[in-house]
Structure 1
Amino acid sequence: MSAKRKSSNPISHDPETPPEITDAWISEADLYLGEKLVRRGRPKVANPRQLLSLRLPPKVIERWRATGPGWQTRMADALEKSAPKSRRAVG
């Protein structure tokens, strides 16, 4: 998500007066290791899943949901295992 960052507290024009350091200020601060900016959040996935709209009978969805948390992952695994083999080009 690309949300606008909150504007920080104005910096004092007096170089002798340091800015107030609060927990909120620290939580929003950028972290650098040497010259490299350390990104926050979930790391990027090598093979991200794609969104697909698929119409299934309600009873099929109910049966998968009844298997408990993780049902979508189990459904994807079952689909992957039963996927047809790719056909080789004849020529």
Structure 2
Amino acid sequence: MPTKESNIVKRTLDLKKSPQLSAEQKARLDAVASMRDKQIDYSDAPALPDAVWMKAATELPHTKKQITLRIDAEVLEFFKHTGKRYQSRMNAVLRSYVEAHKAHAK
């Protein structure tokens, strides 16, 4: 059986253990922090669903509660186009968001 090769690199950010930055990296971050949002060039930034939520797609919770939820049509179509189990991916993205905000609250 052929194996599927992947060029996806998964990384996890631990908000409690920030990576060490060089002086040059700190200077670049300070320069960007002082800019207005409109001045920042985002053209080389990866798309958020692929870059930020990669961990969310791999860690799906086992217990769920059924609810009725209204979602923007564009958001729903985006997730539907990602394939089967799109509702689980939506849940995983929400879970990742909650976990990130819990870490900031501490």
TM over 0.5: no
TM-score range (shorter-chain normalised) is 0.3 to 0.5
Relative to the length of structure 2, the TM-score reads 0.35
* Structure 1 or 2: more strand by fraction: 1
Work out which of the two has the higher radius of gyration on C-alpha atoms and give 1 or 2: 1
Structure of higher RCO (CA pairs closer than 8 Å, 6+ residues apart): 2
* Structure 1 or 2: more helix by fraction: 2
